[in-house]
Amino acid sequence: MESNHKQKKKDKPDYARQSSTGSASSSMHIQIHDGVSAHSQALFVQKVRESYDAVGRGDFQTAIKAYSEAIDLEPTNHVLYTNRAAAYAKIQQFQKSLVDARKSRELNPKWAKDVQDPVIPTVLMYPQL
């Protein structure tokens, strides 16, 4: 039972493991730039939570939708692209996964999750996709 719990925890996006507060803090690596309205911030946090919950249920289509809506609110957030790339890969949409993985790397070439998450380097190894 313990190993099943660890496996589920391992599948959760990094922001879910890094903070138990439930807020979009810097410890989550998901931040909204200054000047964004409180309504947009609240909506962003809601979409991040929805994506986290969907991944936890294995509902990657819903996770992709929530990631996409969060990206609309914060299009320069590399973490969202990385997480959506992994969700696309889980449903075997490798071309879309590759596009997001490349966008994440473009936005932040030093982002460690690209190396930690085996999906991202695997997708990047196949440029013909």
Nearest to 29 by CA among 59, 62, 74: 74
Checking if the pLDDT of 10 tops 70, the result is no
Domain parsing of the chain, residue ranges: 2-14+38-124
pTM of the model: 0.65
The confidence band for 23, taking pLDDT boundaries of 50, 70 and 90, is very low
Q: Quick one: tokens of 93? A: 């949409």
DSSP 27-90: GGT----TT--HHHHHHHHHHHHHHHHHHHHT-HHHHHHHHHHHHHH-TT-HHHHHHHHHHHHH
- Structure-model confidence comparison of residues 110 and 59, the more confident one: 59
Checking if the pLDDT of 75 tops 70, the result is yes
C-alpha dist (Å) from residue 31 to 75, 90, 111: 11, 25, 15
CATH superfamily assigned to domain 2-14+38-124: Tetratricopeptide repeat domain (1.25.40.10)
**pLDDT of amino acid 127:** 53
Torsion of CA 61, 70, 29, 36, to 10 degrees: -170
The confidence band for 117, taking pLDDT boundaries of 50, 70 and 90, is low
Nearest to 106 by CA among 82, 122, 89: 82
Kindly state the average pLDDT of the residues 85-113: 88
Checking if the pLDDT of 29 tops 90, the result is no
The confidence band for 12, taking pLDDT boundaries of 50, 70 and 90, is very low
